[in-house]
Amino acid sequence: MVKNEGKFKWLEEGNKGKPIILLHGLMGGVENFGEMVNFISTEYKVYGLDLKLFEGRTLLKVSVKALSDYLNEFMNHLGLKSATLIGNSMGGHIGLIFAKEHPNKVDSLILTGSSGLFEESMGNTFPRRGDKDYIRFKTEEVFYDPKVATDELVDRVFEIANNRISILKLLGYAKSAIRHNMGKDIPNISNPTCLIWGAEDKVTPPHVAEEFHKLLPNSELNWIPLCGHAAMWEHPKRFSEIVLKFLKKNF
């Protein structure tokens, strides 16, 4: 169920259990969480927040910090005192910033292919305008199985790549992520954290997951084989099993 209220748009599923908020990545949307929502909403209330990366904000307000503030406004709007945050790619980075600034509002963190430590690759993944073959190649690279990059997904990325304002915002978010490296902050984030990583992730490779695990004082690391950068999309059932096991253990 998609809801619109004021400046917020979100997916909402489930009628019981503690709240979970899904945070998508730079080139994604709430639809990236797909089938996974069906699995976890049987036991938890799930909110998939549309971060509206390419609408609303002026170029001056394009930053990962602004997105963390947007998440805080969303929780206040719904009257949520705390939630578990599931973040993919830049969504994980937003979750980390939020946990640093509002630790009492984070029940736990679940990070998959998160940025925040290693952003070099982000600068190399921007699509070239007008070159659809290149865009297909870069989109397929996100997944272990290139067939997951559907024509619909490639068309969405192509549309972003051919809009001048969207490209400027894309670059703005990426540069902001690089500036907002969390290396010094992460050791102070003590919220229970579950890292779920694709063993073949090319965007944030396995060594990034290991570094997160080393720095986060209250973390566990789970690997999904034959999986790229978007584990919750490529392997929704396995991803959900890990999430549910982690949440039952901690709550």
User: Is residue 42 situated within a structural domain?
Assistant: yes
Say whether pLDDT at 57 is over 50. yes
Out of 53-62, 191-200, 201-210, least confident range: 53-62
Tell me the pLDDT band of 69, cut-offs 50, 70 and 90: very high
Task: Report whether pLDDT(76) > 80.
Answer: yes
pLDDT at position 130 over 90: no
Closest CA to 115 of 185, 208, 200: 208
Q: What are the b/e assignments for 218-246, b being 16+ CB within 10 Å?
A: ebbbbbbeebbbbbbbbbbebbbebbeeb
Rounded Cα–Cα distance for residues 222 and 194 (Å): 8
Residues in the chain: 251
Q: What is the mean pLDDT of the chain?
A: 91
9 Cβ neighbours under 8 A, 6+ residues apart: 2, 3, 50, 52
Lowest mean pLDDT among 38-42, 82-86, 156-160: 156-160
Q: Is residue 147 part of a domain?
A: no
Query: Which residues does residue 105 pair with via DSSP β-bridges, in sequence order?
Result: none
* DSSP 8-state symbol, 191: S
The pLDDT score that the predictor gives to residue 170 is 87
Q: Give the span between the Cα atoms of 109 and 191, in whole angstroms.
A: 7
Specify the number of domains making up the chain. 1
> Model confidence at 45, in pLDDT bands (50, 70, 90)?
very high
CATH number of the domain residue 73 falls in: 3.40.50.1820
Burial of 126 (0-12, 13-18, 19+ CB in 10 A): middle
Tell me the per-residue pLDDT of 79-123, one tens digit each, with 9 for 90 and over: 999 999 999 999 999 999 999 999 999 999 999 999 999 855 444
Residue 205 has pLDDT above 80, yes or no: yes
Q: Is the pLDDT of residue 152 over 60?
A: yes
What mean pLDDT is predicted for residues 137-164? 90
Cβ neighbours, 10 Å, residue 183: 11
Judge whether residue 133 has pLDDT over 70. yes
Quick one: which of 123, 96, 124 has its CA closest to 108?
Answer: 96
Domain that holds residue 231: 2-118+181-250
Give the integer Cα–Cα distance in Å for 92 and 37.
17
Please check whether residue 25 lies inside any domain of the structure: yes
pLDDT recorded at residue 123 = 44
DSSP-based three-state secondary structure for 85: strand
Digit-coded pLDDT (tens) for 1-21: 899 998 999 999 998 899 999
Contacts of 245 (CB under 8 A, 6+ apart): none
Return d(Cα 69, Cα 66) in angstroms, integer.
5
Q: 212 in a domain, yes or no? A: yes
The least confident of 43-47, 61-65, 120-124, 241-245 is: 120-124
